[in-house]
Structure 1
Amino acid sequence: MDPHLTYPPDNDLRRLLRFEPHSGAIWLGERRMVLLHTAALTALRHDLITSVGKDHARRLLTRMGYACGLHDAGFAAKTRGKKTLEDMFLVGPQLHMLEGAARVTPVRLEMDAAAGRFEGVFRWDDSWEAHAHRLHYGVVDEPACWTLLGYASGYGSAFMGRLILFKEIKCSACGDDHCLIEGRPIDDWPDGDAHRQYFEDDSLLEKMAALSQQVEALKNTLEPAESGGMLVGSSPGFQHAHDLMRRAAATQVTVLLTGETGVGKERFARALHEHSERAAGPFVAVNCAALPAELIEAELFGVEKGAFTGAHAARAGRFERAEGGTLFLDEVGDMPLPAQAKLLRVLQEGEIERLGSESARKVNVRLVTATNVNLEAAVERGQFRRDLFYRLNVYPICIPPLRERSSDIEPLAQHLLARFTALHQKRLGGFSDRALQALTRHSWPGNVRELENLVERGVILAAQGGVIEAEHLFPNQSEPAQDGIDPQGRLARRAPEDELRLCAQVLDAGVPIETLEAQVLALAVERSRGNLAGAARLLGLSRAQLAYRLKRQHQQEAD
């Protein structure tokens, strides 16, 4: 081993590996991990070789390892960006050991990323894959650590920005007492072309997939209104609302869209218009809550010249502008009562009167309204006309809130990601696993509009070529208590940041440990209303342990 090649302390990497027993998740940074039995992996490996043949099995397993190496390479610059180039690269072998692949000893490492020069030699002891292969097939003639070689190749390739091929010079599956791997740029290997099939067969498919995403993103940017622009979802509640919308689109029925703020009522209205016979006509949207009460009639029905001070010219209202198309009245529950009376006449007679005019004008408009308030309750309070409510409520469609359609969150987020990466000219690798988990666990008080804002913020904050992480979406969200790995390899509880800050405040205040313990015990007893068993559960103690501590405390106070 090169005496200059020594591993830096791996505390920074151990902090990346976090266990959350309460949620059933294991994390390596932002990536979710799974512990698997090597016996299960061995059986899967054997079944692959038996079913598809050695060459195809090798390719699949190499590609799987390659993907793992690519992901782990993302932690190097983030974790040791201020260290030497060698220390940054050694993140990969150290993570390989933390993940249980093998004991890795660096023998030689020479690298120059700018010049594209790389040569790395590493020793593997106790490779799980060599043991698995030898278990089924005995001593073999060819190296068998396909997954682990794929990992090394993927890690080196991501780190160097070009394809680095690692090959086994020795393999314990071949009878050697350890495995020895060597990595170079693939063009530096005389037989490099024979190994490209394990890494580059999917390059065309990957390019086609990337191109497809770019086309979809461009389409979303250029045609935001088509098919409602954002009608994405497969949950039962959403599909029911979508089916009602499609059925109504083929008719001229007046539609009332209900639901919380931000659920996408205007997008449903646009989709209804796009799927109707009026799609070639205009779609005019009006937010009734945003218009002053004294101006709403003029905005909706238009004005004649001289109708009031400042009316120097006749002006068409929104109904006339929507002629032959669809008029969408959002927040119709906030419309003042005089305007409600005129709206009712439009629905009954199909005609409007401009302010200051003595003649009526026929209008051919499809009316779609929306509200986030309970119109029936508004009717009972005298804030909304009962007859108008009945005319609007002919065909109600309730759009469910985002928290009730959790299965739609990820597809919606991916749809928004494509739109905003095109808009902001960013190239991103998607969402991290932790970011997706945070999205699905959020309560979404702002519904789809809130999701839209969070994804756009994530796109802006994420590094070019990186991924959107949970901290980009929820910068103020504290992490729950987690378990990490101590230097002896045991699980060790790690307090979340807010707990650490609280401990620091206690230390800064100089509170004696005895006083702090007395206060904690008293609070636990108080919260459990004097029930010692309940208090003990809060503190993670047995009842006997709590009773002993309370007795000792009382004796100290008596002394």
Structure 2
Amino acid sequence: MTIIRYPESNDLRNLVKFCEKDGTIWLAENRMVLMHTSALGALRRELVGSVGKEHARRLLTRMGYAAGVCDAELAKRIRGHQSLQDAFFTGPQLHMLEGIVRVTPIDMKLDFDSGTFSGEFLWENSWEQDIHLRELGQSDEPVCWSQIGYASGYTSAFMGRFILFKEVECVACGHNNCRIVGKPLEEWEDADQHAGYFESDSMLNHLLELRHQVDYLRTTISQQGQAPQLVGNSKGFQHAYDLVTRASGTQVTVLLLGETGVGKERFARTLHQMSNRKQGPFIAVNCAAMPNDLIESELFGVEKGAFTGAQTSRMGKFERADGGTLFLDEIGELPLAAQAKLLRVLQEGEIERLGDDRVRKLNIRLVAATNVDLQAAVKAGRFRSDLYYRLSVYPIQIPPLRERIADIPLLIEAMVTRFGTLYEKKLLGVSDKAMQAIKHYQWPGNVRELENMIERGIILAPNGGWIELEHLFANVADSDFSEAQISQAGSLEQKQEPCASAGLIDAILASGIPFEDLENRLIDEAVKRADGNLAGAARTLGITRPQLQYRLKKKDGG
């Protein structure tokens, strides 16, 4: 009898990190939780009692299937450079590391090229059969539903075809151990009977469909006409959006306030699209980007010969916005002379081109925006008080992104969809750890900074994979997000920096090898042992992948 052995699991234990100060547990980039099995048992009992055994089994099987798919993605990432068997055994080893069940391989055959798979495994100390016996008693049928879902989901995702596992023996049925057998779906005679547990529940789907209809009606009522470029459900966002909605039916001048990058122009465009001017032009002007000596001509137009170089007459931004909306961003940067003319436009609804005495009547809606304190600018003499009072009739404060934490997942989802289409990449989304880091970040650049970061993540992430922490935050070390790890003995230990023995240090110092050469040799050896996999080499060296890439570039003279 051939004994099948697992590879060393140190690489897997090192992926599990506990961060007490943040209240999080991590398995690589995936957030995990520790739960009492008694609580899971109570949930199982409630499910069986409320929706019946078959529906409960289907739910738990699909839950396990989803977990297995997640671990298969992790296995390919961390052991993709190892042998096919060692890479596959990541799943059973993770199943044990996660406290689900002890897995002993009895027989296994797998071949990627032909899609061949057959496997038999022994399960011991299954938490699922234990709590089923405790809560529901002995069963006539196997009860490790979520574990079967996990094994099927993991193997199916790993092999790229549906592999169905069945529990042929179960402790809850009176056997000494639980035993499972897996092979392709079509090779099972009763495939249809078991495949149904991996499909959506028709009754639950109907309930969810009714819920979606209710949610849709609520959304339609509360956000009727919301423009697609505005995304958010937080209280601060909804308050600002409500003010925009109320202003859209009037002609009031609106002043948008907020930090750089919060989306003031998008709010202005939304206001325009919701108003009765939406068929007219929307003209956006960045006052801070125009030279002082050209501001008046750019805003109000110029007549031929008004100054040297004015060879033709041309209209300004105000005339171009006639019948629509003019958005003046960074209005606090306007010089005092231009402020005086702007005040007249607001009061009289007319302009005069530079070098012309003819008055032109205009019909525009003015929306201004600034990220500076205009009241302070008035006191300092940099902004006209009469213009300030004229502009601040209807101020709208747009909250910074750090005060809109609830909106971040929605914003990211929209950005991933948009940039994924732009760069023709299909991604699974942002990993749990990356999302945690995003939510804790202070976002000095607000939504614009988030947008740039997600675009970079889309470019760097592998097609079909997750956007991970290293794709977003190049300078954040993994140690910033972890406190303790699982030791080989199974206890929690504070993460320690690798410490060489005194003898090794003496040998290195005595060798006379320059420090830079020593570092280069270590890097080359780590990359060689990882078969060129930079992520694996970085873990061996105890640094992040971006840090390794920096050192490789430096080593190669880049």
Specify the TM-score bucket, using the shorter chain as the normaliser. 0.7 to 0.9
1:17, 1:485 within 8 Å by CA — same for their partners in 2?
yes
Which ranges of structure 2 fall in alignment gaps of 5 or more residues? 213-224, 510-558
1:274: Cα distance to partner? 0.8
1:2, 1:106 within 8 Å by CA — same for their partners in 2?
no
**Which residue pairs with 1:164 in the alignment?**
163
Q: In structure 1, how many angstroms separate the alpha carbons of the residues matched to 2:501 and 2:201?
A: 52
Q: How many residues are matched?
A: 487
Q: 1:133 to 1:229 in 2, by over 3 A?
A: closer
**Which residue pairs with 1:473 in the alignment?**
472
**Which residue pairs with 1:338 in the alignment?**
337
2:302, 2:310 within 8 Å by CA — same for their partners in 1?
yes
1:492 counterpart = 2:493:
yes
**Which residue pairs with 1:453 in the alignment?**
452
Q: What does the per-residue CA deviation read over 1:257-304, in whole Å, with 9 as the maximum and x for residues that have no partner?
A: 111111111111111111111011000000000010111111111111
1:229: Cα distance to partner? 4.4
Q: What does the per-residue CA deviation read over 1:242-270, in whole Å, with 9 as the maximum and x for residues that have no partner?
A: 11111111111111111111111111111
1:501: Cα distance to partner? 10
Matches within 5 A, 1:354-503: 354-478=353-477, 479-480=479-480, 481-495=482-496
Q: In structure 1, how many angstroms separate the alpha carbons of the residues matched to 2:340 and 2:178?
A: 85
1:139: Cα distance to partner? 4.1
Q: Match of 1:310, SS?
A: coil
1:500: Cα distance to partner? 6.1
**Which residue pairs with 2:132 in the alignment?**
133
1:410, 1:440 within 8 Å by CA — same for their partners in 2?
no
* TM-score where L is the length of structure 1: 0.83
Q: What does the per-residue CA deviation read over 1:214-263, in whole Å, with 9 as the maximum and x for residues that have no partner?
A: xxxxxxxxxxxx95543222222222221111111111111111111111
**Which residue pairs with 1:310 in the alignment?**
309
Q: In structure 2, how many angstroms separate the alpha carbons of the residues matched to 1:350 and 1:502?
A: 78
1:135: Cα distance to partner? 3.1
Q: In structure 2, how many angstroms separate the alpha carbons of the residues matched to 1:140 and 1:249?
A: 64
1:229, 1:267 within 8 Å by CA — same for their partners in 2?
no
| One-letter identity of the residue aligned with 2:157 | A
Q: In structure 1, how many angstroms separate the alpha carbons of the residues matched to 2:418 and 2:275?
A: 25
Q: What does the per-residue CA deviation read over 1:158-189, in whole Å, with 9 as the maximum and x for residues that have no partner?
A: 10111110011222222221111111110111
Q: In structure 2, how many angstroms separate the alpha carbons of the residues matched to 1:297 and 1:384?
A: 16
1:333, 1:373 within 8 Å by CA — same for their partners in 2?
yes
Q: In structure 1, how many angstroms separate the alpha carbons of the residues matched to 2:128 and 2:228?
A: 49
Q: Match of 1:196, SS?
A: helix
1:123, 1:178 within 8 Å by CA — same for their partners in 2?
yes
Q: In structure 2, how many angstroms separate the alpha carbons of the residues matched to 1:102 and 1:501?
A: 34
**Which residue pairs with 2:2 in the alignment?**
2
2:256, 2:397 within 8 Å by CA — same for their partners in 1?
yes
Q: What does the per-residue CA deviation read over 1:15-67, in whole Å, with 9 as the maximum and x for residues that have no partner?
A: 11111111111111111111112222222222222222221111111111111
Q: Match of 2:484, SS?
A: strand
Q: 1:255 to 1:136 in 2, by over 3 A?
A: closer
1:395: Cα distance to partner? 1.2
Q: In structure 1, how many angstroms separate the alpha carbons of the residues matched to 2:227 and 2:377?
A: 29
Q: Match of 1:373, SS?
A: coil
2:431, 2:466 within 8 Å by CA — same for their partners in 1?
yes
Q: Greater shift after overlay, 407-416 or 79-88?
A: 407-416
1:241, 1:397 within 8 Å by CA — same for their partners in 2?
yes
Q: In structure 2, how many angstroms separate the alpha carbons of the residues matched to 1:186 and 1:476?
A: 46
Q: What does the per-residue CA deviation read over 1:131-178, in whole Å, with 9 as the maximum and x for residues that have no partner?
A: 223334544332221111111000001101111100112222222211
Q: 1:227 to 1:308 in 2, by over 3 A?
A: farther
Q: In structure 1, how many angstroms separate the alpha carbons of the residues matched to 2:384 and 2:103?
A: 77
Q: In structure 1, how many angstroms separate the alpha carbons of the residues matched to 2:241 and 2:57?
A: 46
**Which residue pairs with 1:237 in the alignment?**
236
Q: In structure 2, how many angstroms separate the alpha carbons of the residues matched to 1:483 and 1:72?
A: 21
1:202: Cα distance to partner? 6.6
Q: In structure 2, how many angstroms separate the alpha carbons of the residues matched to 1:358 and 1:314?
A: 13
1:503: Cα distance to partner? 12
Q: In structure 2, how many angstroms separate the alpha carbons of the residues matched to 1:253 and 1:334?
A: 22
Q: In structure 1, how many angstroms separate the alpha carbons of the residues matched to 2:387 and 2:46?
A: 69
Q: Match of 2:323, SS?
A: coil
Q: In structure 2, how many angstroms separate the alpha carbons of the residues matched to 1:60 and 1:25?
A: 26
Q: In structure 1, how many angstroms separate the alpha carbons of the residues matched to 2:187 and 2:380?
A: 82
Q: What does the per-residue CA deviation read over 1:352-408, in whole Å, with 9 as the maximum and x for residues that have no partner?
A: 111121211111111111111111111121111122112111111111111122222
1:502: Cα distance to partner? 13
| One-letter identity of the residue aligned with 1:492 | E
Q: In structure 2, how many angstroms separate the alpha carbons of the residues matched to 1:501 and 1:318?
A: 66
* TM-score where L is the length of structure 2: 0.83
2:25, 2:31 within 8 Å by CA — same for their partners in 1?
yes
**Which residue pairs with 1:151 in the alignment?**
150
**Which residue pairs with 1:67 in the alignment?**
66
Q: In structure 1, how many angstroms separate the alpha carbons of the residues matched to 2:93 and 2:356?
A: 82
Matches within 5 A, 1:468-547: 468-478=467-477, 479-480=479-480, 481-495=482-496
Q: In structure 2, how many angstroms separate the alpha carbons of the residues matched to 1:420 and 1:98?
A: 36
Q: In structure 1, how many angstroms separate the alpha carbons of the residues matched to 2:288 and 2:117?
A: 64
Q: In structure 1, how many angstroms separate the alpha carbons of the residues matched to 2:112 and 2:201?
A: 25
Q: In structure 2, how many angstroms separate the alpha carbons of the residues matched to 1:145 and 1:29?
A: 26
Q: In structure 1, how many angstroms separate the alpha carbons of the residues matched to 2:170 and 2:321?
A: 75
Q: In structure 1, how many angstroms separate the alpha carbons of the residues matched to 2:128 and 2:187?
A: 26
Matches within 5 A, 1:95-244: 95-201=94-200, 227-244=226-243
| One-letter identity of the residue aligned with 1:51 | S
1:111: Cα distance to partner? 1.0
Q: Percent of counterpart pairs with the same letter?
A: 59
Q: 1:332 to 1:229 in 2, by over 3 A?
A: farther
